[in-house]
Amino acid sequence: MKADRYSKVVGLLKVLLPLMALALLSTLFLLSRVIDPHTVIPFADKEIQDRLRDQQVTGPIYYAVTADGDEISFAAEKVTTPDGETGGNEAEDVKVTMKLGSGSDIVLNAKRGHFNIAADSTSLQGEVVINTSTGYRIESDLLVTQMSVLDVESPGPVAATGPVGTVDAGAMTLKAGKPSHLVFTNGVKLIYSPEQDKE
């Protein structure tokens, strides 16, 4: 008797469950929002014209590994190719991350950048800031760097703070080596004020 009742219940569920699933699916289709194919794309006219005029990539990332094992990545909020220019790209909100083979990390941030992969060169401008894992923060108006090797240069004045104090200099270079080295030149002014021992 119980077996017959069990069989009837199973048979009934085999019919009811697919019907309920079908009812739920049909409800989803009935309640779904109708999409108007003629709806305007949410871009301003000026933005559309800019995109049509300039080739544009949003959120690009470029990676390179140097012969010394240093990892370099270039990322930007937006990269455009100006009309009539070949090989060059303008970037906004640039972030360059360098993971050195020695274990140190260097991060460069800038408002603007100009990339030329064919020429293996990049120039960063606009509130350029360098932060290193060794505790240095360096500010500059312009940085010129290669994309395939660790070779960073600030041809103009820089202001730096770090574990030894503050440094003002007319120029700065960061070169590959074992270890990599940071060199300040052209009228270097150092105010020596090492951090006090926390103990």
DSSP symbols for 127-159:
EEEEEETTS-EEEEEEEEE-SSS-EEEE-S-EE
Other beta carbons within 10 angstroms of residue 102's beta carbon come to 14
Paired with 52 in beta bridges are none
Element (H, E) at 32: none
pLDDT of residue 186: 92
- Over residues 65-111, the pLDDT tens digits come to 877 778 888 888 888 877 656 667 888 999 999 888 778 888 999 99
pLDDT at 52 over 70: no
Architecture of domain 46-192: Sandwich (2.60)
Burial of 152 by CB count in 10 Å (0-12 exposed, 13-18 middle, 19+ buried)? buried
pLDDT for res 3: 66
Using one digit for the tens of pLDDT, what is the confidence trace for 125-179? 988 999 988 888 999 999 998 877 788 899 999 999 988 899 999 999 988 766 7
Q: Over 60: is that where the pLDDT of 20 sits?
A: yes
Distance CA 55, CA 199 (A): 56
Average pLDDT over the chain, rounded to an integer: 79
* Domain locations in the chain as residue ranges: 46-192
